[in-house]
Structure 1
Amino acid sequence: MPTCRFLLLFSLIWARLVALDVFIDPVKGFRKIAVIRVSFQPDDSQGTTGDGKFLLAQNTVSCGNYTIDRSPHDKSYFESQLQAVDSYFRNVSNGHYGIDLDSSQVFPDGEAASYPLDHTMDYYHPYGETNEVYEQKLVELFRDALFTADSADAVPFTDYDLIVVFHAGIGQDFSLPFLDPTPEDIPSTYVDREMLGEPIFNVEHGIILPETQNHLLFDEAEDIFTDPAESCDYQFGLTGTFALMVGFAEGLPPLWDTETGESGIGVFGLMDQGSNNGRGIIPSPPDGWTRIQAGWTMPSLVTPTSEVLLPARSMQDSIIKVQIDDDEYFLIENRNNWFRDNVNIDSVRYAIYDNTDDYPDYVEVLFDSVDISFDENGVVTSVSSYDLGLPASGLLIWHIDESVIRTAPDEYSINADRERKGIDLEEADGAQDIGYPNIHLFTDPTSGYFGDMWFDGNLEYETVNGVGPPEFSPYSYPDTKSNDGASTFLSIENISVPGDTMSFTVSNTFLVDGFPDTTAFIRTVYDLNGDGVNEVFGGKD
């Protein structure tokens, strides 16, 4: 027992040391945000959504109690949006980061007030212009908002950590399954120092967001949808977009190719398409590497041969690290999308369809069945687990290559090369779909789907690897080779069925039996004393 104890403690110490090799600054503390509400000159342009003013009338959408982010969009509504993004970050950061709601402020002070700008909405995103012009116009919008707020109320911008400009209308952010009739809507944007140029009132960066992402709240929905009453499943919440932009502002790197728009990690992380999980109400937590770099959790180094019991992230944010070489390693996390034992949102929808031939909207099941919190403004202000929007439950196995991260031209380029990403998801179905063109007739796995997660019973894995408990090994598809093609001899095998705790074995096929002592095992990984560092529990029979 003493020998095994020493080995496990050594692993913990090494985990603490390797975590100090950081690529982004720790993201900790609670930010004070100034929200600036701006409206536009009235217009009847067919290229934009709305008339340039905030939606202040009571909600009349036919989705009834299942309406996302219903109007009126007044001061209280935006305070609710702050609360929603605060709940998200406090949850996924394990309490290390969030919004200081008491010190944050929505301007102007009047419940239905906003700062009117001198231009119509389409002025700030004119159709058919170059990217350079688009960027100039977005910066102009941010500048105009700050100057107008200063002129009207002398807003003390330097009292706040982040400035968020909310404008009337909807965001040019989603690719809907039809031609977009309003191409001059304004895209949500993080305005960084390079874009902004010289600071304005000592403000060096900020965010531009729409009042909502729900098209159904506007009259233009009648042009977009054949029957808006049957289109409630196309609603999207604002929390995901808001969280994504805050991630940018805090230095979390985007993990898609920002030049081409191709996905890098898909729906499995905030800083890619995961920001829109759960119809924008349940954005995915950041990937394991980003959470470690932000200082929100610590990895536990596991060496062959070890048996591991790994709790779900929503229970205990534990991440296993398996070293390949000086630059490369695997990160393994257990992500679970159940809101009851073996029950997730999509499984409920399928069950209802089987019994009634009626396939309910996602939002209906979410609002009726899941532990979520609403406030008096109808905004979903918190969710019990932000893994509920994932397509399945199981292990996510990340292949990290710090040489790619270290040599990337900038923080926006970590996953720019889809052939060698800095943060790559090992997709359990054996195909490298994420970020590649879709070649499938009836499905689209290019942003990630259930088959990418590792669990016993994954039929997509079995299609290419055969029936049995999954293993990620030198002989599986995908395999455990390093990025230069060398065999690592590592195997992650005997992967269990999904659960609040999942088990697997880490082994090395190159090691001689008995070296090291294979009777040593890891029972679980848990932060026993609450100091933010996971303890590894194990021993020998």
Structure 2
Amino acid sequence: MKSGAFLFRNPIKKWASESYAELAFFPKNRIVYGFLFCNFTFMKKHLFLLALLAFFTSSFAVDTLEIFALRVQFKQESPDNSLTTGTGRFDSDSDTSNANYSLDPSGHRASAAYWQKHFEFAKNYYKAVSNGNLVITARIFPSGEPYTVNHYIIDYNRTSKKKGEKTAEFDEARSRDYMNFIWDAVTEANRSNDTLDNPFKVPQPKSSNKKRAYMIIHAGASRLVDGGSMGTNNADTPGDFMDVYVVQDYWSYLDTADSERKCAKDIRGMILPGSTLDTLKTIMVTSETASQDGLNWGINGVIVNQIGRELGMPNTYDVVKGISRLGYFDLMDFAGYNAGNGFFPVLPSAWVRSYMGWAKVQTVYPPDSKSLTRNIVAAGSGEGTEIVKVPLAANEYLLIENRERSAGDSAKIAVSYVPASDVAAESDYEVVTKVYPVDSLYTAFEDSICDEKGKCVKNRKKLSGVIVDVSSFDAGLPASGIAVWKVNDWYLREALPYGVTNFWGGDTLRDHQYGLMLTEADGVLSIGKTFKNALGQDAYDYGSGADLIPHWRKGKNSPKDTVWSIKPSGYGNTKTTMGGHTGITVTAKKTKNAHMEKNANAFMGDSVFNFAASSIPVTISWASHALIPGSLFPKNVGLNASVRGAVALDYPEGMSVGAGEKLIVFGSEDGTLQAMSAFGQPLQESDTTVWTRALSLADSVDSVALYRLGSSLGKLLGVAASGDTVYSLHQNKGLAQTVLSSAIDQIQFDRKLAGIANPLVGPMVWNASVFVADNENLYRYKSTNLSKDAFALPENFEPQDMALCPDGDLANVALVGKNAELALYKAEEGRIQKLPSPKIRAKNLFDIKKQSFRIACSDFDRDGKSEMFILGSRGYAAMVRADDSASVVFAPRSFKRGNDGVVDFYDETSPIAIGDVNGDGYPEAVFLGNNLVYAVDRSGVVISGFPIRITKNTPETSFLSDPLIVDVTGDSLPEILVGTNGGVLHAFNSNGKSVTDGFPISAGNFEYGETVHPMAFFVAKTIDSVSGPQLYAFQRRFVTGYNLAKSSALAETDAKAWSVPGSGNGRTNYFDASKLPEPAEVKAVAKIEEFFVYPNPVRGGIANARFSLGMSAKSVTIEFYDISGRLVFSKKLGKANQGNNQIDQMDISHLGSDVYSVRLKVNFDSGKKKEKFYRVGVVR
């Protein structure tokens, strides 16, 4: 095979990627990023040099784009400078003449007619891409010989640093020199008063449907292919220019101290006195040729890419690393616009076309049947549905499109070109069309065609001249088939102002975050990755037929493997950016009129075959454990969600809709309540609309209808419900009662307000009473008429949370305030009593003054009486009896939660959940820490398998919302559900292991920013016709509804579960342990079952110990002995319980570094004495 054919099969080789990476943006050894968007200011200042990244200009959607092209040449070199290609004049490259390149040939490149042929290609390209919505016209300036600047090429692009010049200074100087060229070229073009020679004197278009853009076409070769087929190893003209799109930021590089040019520095652009333009803001720049060093390379791709930037299309490759991200499958990736050796640039990808408003997108949601099929027609054909959108999460979705190399089902590609003899003709020139089998387009570059026996004949279909049209502008793809794209709207909103969709996120996030990504169907994520060839050189994969569906592959020694689908798991999957499971499968089917195509990619060879057709049926299916079938989730509800702000209610009596369902009422941070059905459908007329900026050049805003239960009453503090009534507490307003009623097929409501000047805690609903607290009183409202009783709080008591702690049928209420102060409302006595707070025994354990507190109640020890579990935002935890004595069950101890009181930055305020996690008949308290899930027993000891580390990569913190306890696997034991502010909902079983079957769920969305948006969620049976309970997650402006099909029957109401924040709509924070099965009786045995000291080794001088006893003990003593047997530390404890026990915060800081023997001595209730040893290291 000749080199031309090989390069067509893999057109961007080593030299291309190295050129992009080497010249560009950041020298590799100076990229220091802590996070994705940590230093856009630095980026903006230094990304100029190669200008493959061109920051986002003011974009416009137009009917006609008129391009004024300026031909510019340089001062002629004599002798020829070896660092540049040519002498500075058009057609002056001796290599070009000797190589006799057949396409984009030399000899007439200085003529205006030659360039009109290239713009003819651009016109045809954009007519097809835009479905006829965009017209490209061009006018070439000047009318005679090209403009000439008074400097050599090398003057604008020196290749080495001066003595003592730093790298940053060198980069700055090269940027300034390049902008000097732009200044000189534009100034030269603006000298004449003749509109035939001065493009800036021509009156501007008056029609709003016509816009004008400018392009400089300069003499010389593009540095893109310096070195030819040998790549950068053979590069010898580093002084050549790269193709640049100049935007407003770049004008700041002009040197105002330059006495020769007298530049007027203006960040808005280049001011042109006397012109009709006033200020030139952007300009495209391209070289006369991309061919050099024996490699024939086209500039069609560069031209249509530059026009795309002018129109507002962003770069889609990684502009920081200079590597491909979308490969051949997108025009705005350098691999895509250089496809087919630069002569056959491909179409923009599905998202880019929809962003430009050139292709309509059909959004699909899971139907009742859980699968649907859509016929997707070839991209750019305009003959039906071209793009199908499948939501994955709140701001992520799939875009599915059909990319076909040939037009229709012909399996042929027609290429039209103007022969070399006619390229300078202004009119009456010949246009020749040659047709190629889709698998043989590479022969357009071949001198001769050879058969399998090596017999060769002259290739009469070899192209020559200038290509002006092609029957399919996806001809340069490596294969045809269904492309499935992942799109992240949040990332795009952050990146688009900088003119990009993807870039390197630093050494931490690397390329794990993206705006656009092709889901590689073969599961081998190779696009944009660096490989080594047989010579040890860097090589790159830019995509193949194996990345599309359907395809099959057959190796020499392996059976045929057909890939029809992209599935929920595997490397090429339908998960979200953060790894959230979606349960979605995308399957392409082979049609009767499909034809097979060989893969055209050097990496894959011809072992991959694709089934291509002008219309391909694609089936999207959702697993049972996925989005609720028949729903509209994920759904944008317009306003940011509030923690504990959602409840599921029965429909009001008398309604004609909602049979067998519940409705959802949810609140936003600003206090607005809205309602929807269990499927996300509205239940009333919308009374207002919110507007958001649309991620599109075609539409400026998106509208979201609100379905409000009245106007906002101010910031929401809490929501509770009972029956058909919702209670909401609003800052500075008080308690609102919203009663729902029937309007036949819609709901209606009545609202009352009980004013409270400064409410702090609540509402909590119990037995027809609603409890709310401010800093003076606990209020008990009657649910019937909102009449109230007030009970004075202890002096200076500032409540932060409350919980129902019943004493029989009496609704006692426990309150926790600042500094972990406790108070108990005694229902029988109608008063509030302040309780003694547990004493902190260990010195410097934590600072309770900097913590806020949560409280929950249950009968933890199953003795028929309630206990309070108190939890601080920085790790304080204690348990006391919920009676007048407030006797301590376990003394305050510290867990890794918040910042442990070290710095004033982060407090974990997420509430407590209570449930029987391990099925032993006793409740456990579950809470969240620093990337940890804790489950502690009635003794305050973390149960076996806990704490659980939530993520192994970036730690999760700032949860701020409830964990839940509910069975989601069907094994009858509940799992712990944890929602992160990164939009992922995890499940962990009773052994402390992550549930991986269907989890984690993509229940929200990840957005990096200063404001934390917690995920609030609950589990309830809201739809009788669907198996399993449903999970509803609220984060930011979105709600997601999932079906938990694998849960056991009635999992949400199981006695062991805590499936709704606050233990139900009443938000009582109380777990009724009496409904649990009786704990199995354990025979008391006088033995020490487990004993260890941690951490081991001990660092920092503080040690903890944990031990398990088979019988309660009268006393326990722990002793440390050094290597000589001398007692160096001793601590005597009081009574110890049967089961788990813990010793916190033993101060052994006086001990030196060594290994110590630790003895635990136990005096059991039976009178027996036992002891057990453990060895622990100490490091000072």
8 Å contact kept, 2:74–2:152: yes
- Residue 159 of structure 2 is aligned with which of 124, 127, 149? 127
Counterparts of residues 313-332 of structure 1 (less than 5 Å): 313-316=379-382, 318-332=386-400
- Residue 308 of structure 1 is aligned with which of 368, 374, 378? 374
The answer to whether structure 1 residue 151 and structure 2 residue 188 are counterparts is no
Aligned twin of 1:257: 318
SS at match of 1:380: strand
Using the TM superposition, name which of 51-60 and 481-490 deviates more.
51-60
SS at match of 2:315: coil
Aligned twin of 2:327: 266
Aligned twin of 2:281: 204
Aligned twin of 1:379: 466
The structural deviation recorded for 1:469 is 4.6
Counterpart CA distance in 1 for 2:493 and 2:380 is: 30
Q: Which amino acid aligns with 1:310?
A: I
8 Å contact kept, 1:314–1:336: no
8 Å contact kept, 1:47–1:183: yes
The answer to whether structure 1 residue 283 and structure 2 residue 345 are counterparts is yes
Name structure 2 gaps, 5 residues minimum: 1-56, 162-169, 205-211, 253-265, 273-278, 413-436, 505-510, 591-610, 632-697, 699-1180
SS at match of 2:317: coil
Distance 1:286 1:24, change over 3 A: farther
Aligned residues: 463
Counterparts of residues 84-123 of structure 1 (less than 5 Å): 84-100=121-137, 104-110=138-144, 113-123=145-155
Aligned twin of 1:81: 118
Using the TM superposition, name which of 304-313 and 261-270 deviates more.
304-313
Distance 1:138 1:356, change over 3 A: farther
SS at match of 1:165: strand
Cα-to-partner distance string for 1:95-142 (whole Å, 9 max, x where unaligned): 122322xxx4211112xx111111011111110253322221221111
Counterpart CA distance in 2 for 1:348 and 1:63 is: 19
Counterpart CA distance in 1 for 2:122 and 2:588 is: 38
Q: Which amino acid aligns with 2:296?
A: Q
The answer to whether structure 1 residue 508 and structure 2 residue 585 are counterparts is no
Counterparts of residues 410-489 of structure 1 (less than 5 Å): 410-417=497-504, 418-439=511-532, 444-458=539-553, 467-489=561-583
Distance 1:357 1:498, change over 3 A: same
SS at match of 2:574: coil
Counterpart CA distance in 1 for 2:155 and 2:94 is: 28
The structural deviation recorded for 1:511 is 6.2
Counterpart CA distance in 2 for 1:211 and 1:180 is: 18
Aligned twin of 2:61: 27
Counterpart CA distance in 1 for 2:300 and 2:330 is: 14
SS at match of 2:177: helix
8 Å contact kept, 1:26–1:293: no
Distance 1:63 1:441, change over 3 A: closer
Aligned twin of 1:221: none
SS at match of 2:498: coil
Counterpart CA distance in 1 for 2:116 and 2:544 is: 34
Distance 1:54 1:214, change over 3 A: same
Aligned twin of 1:228: none
Distance 1:36 1:478, change over 3 A: same
Aligned twin of 1:4: none
The structural deviation recorded for 1:63 is 6.9
Aligned twin of 1:341: 411
Counterpart CA distance in 1 for 2:324 and 2:96 is: 36
TM-score normalised over the length of structure 2? 0.37
- Residue 193 of structure 1 is aligned with which of 248, 266, 287? 248
Counterpart CA distance in 2 for 1:489 and 1:290 is: 26
Structure with more of its chain in helix, by fraction: 1
Using the TM superposition, name which of 82-91 and 138-147 deviates more.
82-91
8 Å contact kept, 1:59–1:71: no
SS at match of 2:225: coil
The structural deviation recorded for 1:174 is 2.9
Cα-to-partner distance string for 1:65-105 (whole Å, 9 max, x where unaligned): 933344211121122222222221112111122322xxx42
Distance 1:65 1:123, change over 3 A: closer
Aligned twin of 1:399: 486
Counterparts of residues 60-75 of structure 1 (less than 5 Å): 61=97, 66-73=102-109, 74-75=111-112
Q: Which has the larger radius of gyration?
A: 2
Distance 1:336 1:139, change over 3 A: same
Aligned twin of 1:371: none
The structural deviation recorded for 1:264 is 1.4
8 Å contact kept, 1:469–1:494: no
Cα-to-partner distance string for 1:410-434 (whole Å, 9 max, x where unaligned): 4334211421111011112212212
Distance 1:515 1:255, change over 3 A: closer
Counterpart CA distance in 2 for 1:354 and 1:322 is: 46
Distance 1:499 1:352, change over 3 A: farther
8 Å contact kept, 1:24–1:293: no
Q: Which amino acid aligns with 1:408?
A: A
The structural deviation recorded for 1:446 is 2.8
Aligned twin of 2:454: 357
Cα-to-partner distance string for 1:421-465 (whole Å, 9 max, x where unaligned): 1101111221221222225659955322232222132559xx99x
Counterpart CA distance in 2 for 1:502 and 1:311 is: 7
8 Å contact kept, 1:209–1:242: yes
Counterparts of residues 241-256 of structure 1 (less than 5 Å): 241-256=302-317
Tell me the percent identity.
24
SS at match of 1:492: strand
The structural deviation recorded for 1:308 is 2.1
SS at match of 2:128: helix
Cα-to-partner distance string for 1:236-295 (whole Å, 9 max, x where unaligned): 111111111122222211011212201111111111120011121111111110110101
Q: Which amino acid aligns with 1:423?
A: L
The structural deviation recorded for 1:500 is 1.7
SS at match of 2:140: strand
Counterpart CA distance in 2 for 1:42 and 1:468 is: 59
The answer to whether structure 1 residue 213 and structure 2 residue 293 are counterparts is no
Distance 1:303 1:468, change over 3 A: farther
The structural deviation recorded for 1:169 is 1.0
Aligned twin of 2:1044: none
Q: Which amino acid aligns with 1:190?
A: Y
Q: Which amino acid aligns with 2:213?
A: L
Aligned twin of 1:17: none
8 Å contact kept, 1:125–1:137: yes
Using the TM superposition, name which of 256-265 and 124-133 deviates more.
124-133
Q: Which amino acid aligns with 2:568?
A: P
Across the aligned residues of Structure 1 and Structure 2, the Cα RMSD in angstroms comes to 3.5
Aligned twin of 2:357: 295
Counterpart CA distance in 2 for 1:472 and 1:360 is: 44
Aligned twin of 1:527: none
Counterpart CA distance in 1 for 2:181 and 2:237 is: 18
Name structure 1 gaps, 5 residues minimum: 1-22, 216-223, 225-230, 368-373, 518-531, 533-541
Cα-to-partner distance string for 1:152-189 (whole Å, 9 max, x where unaligned): 45524264611111111111123642321111011111
Aligned twin of 2:71: 37
Aligned twin of 1:499: 613
Distance 1:502 1:77, change over 3 A: same
SS at match of 1:325: coil
Using the TM superposition, name which of 174-183 and 425-434 deviates more.
174-183
